[in-house]
Structures are given as C-alpha cells and as structure tokens.
Amino acid sequence: MNEEKPEFTELVHNYIHAGKQFPEGTETAFLTVKKIGRFSEAGALDFGGGEYTEAGVEWLAPVKKKKEDSYGWWHLTAGTYHIEFNESLTLPEDRRLYLQIWGRAERNGASIPFRVLEKDHDPLITALTVGIPGIEIKENARLACLGFFD
C-alpha cells in the first residue's frame, strides 16, 4: 500500500523560513538551533526507570561578532553539548521520521546521533558532539535534517 505522506509543514511547527527549511523536490526538512547548553551535572539511568534523572544543562549565551548584528554565535570547543531546536513535531501514529546531522555540519566536525522519531516532540532536543578544533554555530543555523522513514 503506497500511502500519501503528509507535507512537512503539517508536521513541523515553529520553523523560521519555509523556503530554506523545506526545499522543493526533496523529502527532507531542516531543523534550526534555538539553544545550546553544556552538560553540567550527571544524569542517572537504572533498569526500571524509577531512579532516572536528567543531566543538568548550563545554557550558553551566543555572542554577537559585531554590536549591530541581529544574531550571535556559539563558539564551541571539542565536547558534547545539549541542543534544543526551534522546531517541534506533531506526528500521526502511523508516521516515522529520521533525524540526522546536516552534511555541512558534519563536514565541519559536528555530529548528532541518528534517531527514529515516532511521537510528538516539543521541545525537540538532541546531543551534539563537536570534534577538534571546535565549531562556530550562529543562532538559528540549520544543523540537522528530518526525512520520512517508510
């Protein structure tokens, strides 16, 4: 059965620019960076989940390169960071999407875990690993992409 896929604009909310984030002729959508934090306290995992705690996050402030700039930059050194995207997802029960790093970000030493998304996400978050020698990321930069997982 070849079921029609919903448009990304029906599933992805709080996007910044449809033309840049939902390229025509592709089945991908780009996600943009809202916040970046550094893990500051250890979380805890257990077998049953009753002792689960989330890791603490210290949010980093972006820095403007020039006073007149509208947006700032995060200057990240090698390490692992907590990313919150601007976008959120509303997924029907029968839809799955994959989340992966955008090729340009990967070529600059950044990576995120490949994930299959099967439920709503608000906020949509992931871990970002930055390699040596680090990376600069501007507020609202495209970092990851979504695709339909058939």
Q: Which domains are assigned to the chain?
A: 8-148 (2.70.40.10)
Strands (DSSP E) contained in 79-121 are 79-85, 88-89, 97-101, 110-111, 115-117
Mean pLDDT on 24-50: 95
pTM: 0.92
* pLDDT tens string 98-126: 999 999 999 999 999 999 999 999 999 99
Q: Which residues contact 84 (CB under 8 A, 6 or more apart)?
A: 33, 34, 35, 36, 37, 123, 124, 125
Mean pLDDT on 9-34: 92
